[in-house]
Amino acid sequence: MIEGHPQTCYELFRMDKETFMNLCDHPKRHENLQDTRFVTVEEAVAMFLLIVGHNVRMRVVADRFQHSIETVARHFKEVRRALCRLGKILICPNNMTNEVSSYDASNPKYFPWFKDCIGAIDGTHISAWVPADRQISFRGRKTIITQNVMCACDFDMMFTFVYASWEGTANDARVFLDALTRPEVNFPWPSKGKYYVVDSGYPCISEFLPPYRGERYHLQEYRGRRNQPIRYKELFNYIHSSLRNIIERRFGVLKTRFPILRMMPCYKPSRQPSIVVACCTLHNWICLSTQNDKLFREYEVEDLSIEGEEESTSSTNHSIDLLDESATAMAACRDQIAKVMWANYITVNP
């Protein structure tokens, strides 16, 4: 498979040959994975990628590689663990300082209005499998059994934080506040004066900038000449939604590349969050290693609508507002950005 046509390698393993070989070499050099008597590291990683990248069952992979199902399952677990260890290195912020993101600085649509934004946070529903007696709490939107996964990403297409394991009925604010209050989760707090953009399901507190509630927000609501913003809050929400769309596109790439996240097999519930982390690690590895990835190109369009992602994973009725000084200060910051942006907008578009 590796020695065949480059396109075959990409279609089978969801990455090009060089990226695949470097991925296999990294755990060998760091002693996270080693060749065994009957299975090389390359073969173990290939089996893992076929399972997560095509959602095929271990029995099919066992037949293709001529190994027992037990051998495939054991190496799937070892590669998953190795990727989660690699994730501790790759899934982290690259820019928490005062440096302005090149993505913002190069785009007049966002700069200088969002010059202090370091990334976006959102939750997404990932398919889950749980026993029948636990399914009620995992039935998310559309009665599908899911887990609610909270992620942060920067503007270089990289996941900087992944928090998996919450049931599908949990709303964004609950997962968010749990992540912030548990030290062992190691949430990547922004430096002073910086912030993440979040959707309206999140509280308006220091370091987290949500849109205005009660105003149009989603990008499709502003499409067409008759649907352009007519006041400063709408303009802010439109630009905010466009900027936050970066994480929705990341979710789109992730789920397209790894279909296992759309239909989780019958794996133990305790292991499923680590599969999500492993896939996010692979996403970051490909992002760092490949200059011209096909899927990344497809999702480069700024205002691309991602089916199933524009809807918040939280219920408005359950969203939480923390009314304190930090909330007041962040709301004032939002007003300042919105009004200056609006003044510029009506000058350019009289």
On whether both 334 and 186 belong to a single domain, the answer is yes
Cβ(37)–Cβ(31) below 8 Å? no
User: What pLDDT sits at residue 46?
Assistant: 97
pTM: 0.90
Q: In terms of residue numbers, what domain contains 216? A: 102-280+294-348
On whether both 79 and 110 belong to a single domain, the answer is no
Phi/psi of residue 12, nearest 5 degrees: -80, -45
Strands 208-209 and 117-127, by their bridges, are: unpaired
On whether both 78 and 128 belong to a single domain, the answer is no
Strand-by-strand arrangement of the 208-209 sheet: 159-167, 146-153, 117-127, 195-197, 208-209
On whether both 18 and 123 belong to a single domain, the answer is no
Answer with the one of 90, 116, 140 that is the final residue of a domain: 90
On whether both 144 and 177 belong to a single domain, the answer is yes
- The CA distance from 233 to 212, in Å, is 7
User: What pLDDT sits at residue 315?
Assistant: 46
Report the domain count for the chain: 2
User: What pLDDT sits at residue 213?
Assistant: 93
On whether both 64 and 160 belong to a single domain, the answer is no
On whether both 124 and 66 belong to a single domain, the answer is no
On whether both 214 and 325 belong to a single domain, the answer is yes
Per-residue model confidence as pLDDT tens for the chain (350 residues): 666 677 899 999 999 999 999 999 999 998 889 999 999 999 999 999 999 999 999 999 999 999 999 999 999 999 999 999 999 999 998 765 556 566 655 688 898 999 999 999 999 999 999 999 899 989 866 678 999 999 999 998 899 999 998 999 998 999 999 999 999 999 999 998 999 999 998 989 989 999 999 999 988 899 888 889 999 999 999 999 999 999 999 999 999 999 999 999 999 999 999 999 999 999 999 999 998 899 999 998 766 766 666 555 554 444 444 557 778 899 999 999 999 999 999 998 76
On whether both 251 and 153 belong to a single domain, the answer is yes
- The CA distance from 15 to 118, in Å, is 27
On whether both 162 and 248 belong to a single domain, the answer is yes
Cβ(198)–Cβ(208) below 8 Å? yes
On whether both 75 and 201 belong to a single domain, the answer is no
In terms of C-beta density within 10 A (0-12 exposed, 13-18 middle, 19 or more buried), how is residue 171 classed? Answer: buried
User: What pLDDT sits at residue 316?
Assistant: 41
Whether 96 is in a domain gets the answer no
On whether both 71 and 142 belong to a single domain, the answer is no
Minimal CA–CA distance to 54: which of 267, 272, 279? 279
